[in-house]
Amino acid sequence: MISVFGSANMDLVAYVAQAPRPGETVTGREFRTVPGGKGANQAIAAARAGAGVAFLGAVGDDAFGPGLRAALAEAGVDTAGLRVVPGPSGVAHIVVEDGGDNSIIVVPGANGAVTGPAGRDAETIARSDALLLQLELPMDAVVAAAHVPRGVSSRAEVILTPAPAAPLPAELLEAVDLIVPNEHEAAALTGRDDPRDALEALLGLVPEAVVTLGARGALYGSRDGTRLREAAVPVRAVDTTAAGDTFAGALAVARTEGAGPARALRFASAAAALSVQREGASTSMPHRHEIDRLLEGL
Ligand code: ATP
């Protein structure tokens, strides 16, 4: 079982020829509300990829809260640990221009009210095989969650997606087993632009690291000396939104099923390659049978 302690946002996406300048009003072409947030995305990705998943986080008592819960539940995610707090849910206000440029305002809302897991939430983490963390919740809460497995001698491995990029406190790093940044986050964390150098620097911080490289695949390293490079599955990408979250969720599933690093990378790459061929975030995440079928054909 996998626990995801993270954010849930409603993405409010407006499609427009050109984004308005200050003071200007423009008429958009289309509007969509899409459940998102890195935590919810990873939970849905892991559930679709075949794991039992519990989501721990918060939504507001507004109209978006039930929609976010329903999206998780529909994917088979256990939402008993999804609190309802007074005030608005987290939202990402996204303007997509015809040229493909987008601008995004994230208002954390209920995500900003999440505190370190206690009681039943801590027990859920303790019972898990993996705990997935990202950085869209208050840092103190993320640090507290990362320490739950060690505090109770749980076998849960702690997997951190360090996004959005932020300086990582030592108390967080000491509790992380595997870090999964994209190449930009890896560079921001280590000051090394070359992803291979960044990978080596990350292994000075945590025992295992995966640096994702978009269409160029992913690098893996472990303190035991293993180094791997996994090419991306060659596909025609139409929308890479949440490729990273799909990759992280699927990677966790493979590891909790006992796959070694090479097989886990391959499984995650296949899941992410399927997701980039479809539009949307959670809507694009593949089901297990689709991942298995793609892997059989490779
Ligand atoms: P996002 O922020 O869009 O969620 P990310 O920047 O966190 O993504 P990426 O490194 O872009 O993550 O992609 C994660 C993984 O998804 C890659 O390692 C690769 O396996 C897969 N992937 C991404 N883009 C493509 C593509 N164009 N074709 C095939 N696979 C892709």
Rounded Cα distance, 249 and 228, in Å = 19
Ligand 1 mean position, distance from CA 279 (Å): 14
Task: Give the residue ranges of the annotated binding site for K(+).
Answer: 239, 241, 275, 278, 280, 284
Task: Pick the closest to residue 283 from 52, 32, 83 (CA basis).
Answer: 32
| Helix (H/G/I), strand (E/B), else coil: 226 | coil
Residue nearest to atom 14 of ligand 1 (CA): 244
pTM of the model: 0.96
Question: What letter represents residue 261's amino acid?
Answer: P
Summarize the confidence of residues 250-272 as an average pLDDT: 98
Q: What pLDDT does 240 receive? A: 86
Q: Is 245 a catalytic residue?
A: yes
In eight-state DSSP terms, residue 52 is -
pLDDT interval class at 108 (50, 70, 90): very high
Q: Say if residues 53 and 1 touch (Cβ distance below 8 Å).
A: yes
Residue nearest to atom 8 of ligand 1 (CA): 244
* pLDDT > 80? residue 266: yes
Q: Which residues line ligand 1 (CB under 6 A)?
A: 182, 212-215, 217-218, 232-233, 235, 237, 240-245, 247, 269, 272-273, 276
Task: Choose between 284 and 89: higher pLDDT.
Answer: 89
Rounded Cα distance, 275 and 158, in Å = 24
Q: What pLDDT does 186 receive? A: 98
What DSSP string describes 72-94? HHHTT-EEEEEEEESSPPEEEEE
With the most atoms of ligand 1 within 8 angstroms of its CB, the residue from 182, 219, 228, 236 to mutate is: 182
pLDDT interval class at 222 (50, 70, 90): very high
Domains within the chain, CATH numbers bracketed: 2-8+37-89+109-297 (3.40.1190.20)
With the most atoms of ligand 1 within 8 angstroms of its CB, the residue from 212, 213, 220, 269 to mutate is: 212
Ligand 1 mean position, distance from CA 237 (Å): 10
* pLDDT > 80? residue 253: yes
ipTM entry: 0.98
Angle, in degrees to the nearest 10, between helices 243-256 and 261-276: 150
Q: Is 289 exposed, middle or buried (0-12, 13-18, 19+ CB in 10 A)?
A: exposed
Return all residues near 79 (Cβ < 8 A) that are at least 6 apart.
Answer: 55, 69, 72, 73
Residue nearest to atom 26 of ligand 1 (CA): 215
Instruction: Give backbone dihedrals phi and psi of 253, rounded to 5 degrees, phi first.
Output: -60, -50
Summarize the confidence of residues 108-124 as an average pLDDT: 97
The structure tokens listed for 275 are 């997701």
Ligand 1 mean position, distance from CA 115 (Å): 30
- Pick the atom of ligand 1 nearest to 241's CA: 3
Summarize the confidence of residues 11-32 as an average pLDDT: 94
- In tens, the pLDDT along 164-194 reads 999 999 999 999 999 999 999 999 999 999 9
User: CB neighbours (10 Å) of residue 242?
Assistant: 26
What's the chain's average pLDDT?
Answer: 96
Task: Give the residue ranges of the annotated binding site.
Answer: 9-11, 37-41, 136, 182, 212-217, 239, 241, 244-245, 275, 278, 280, 284
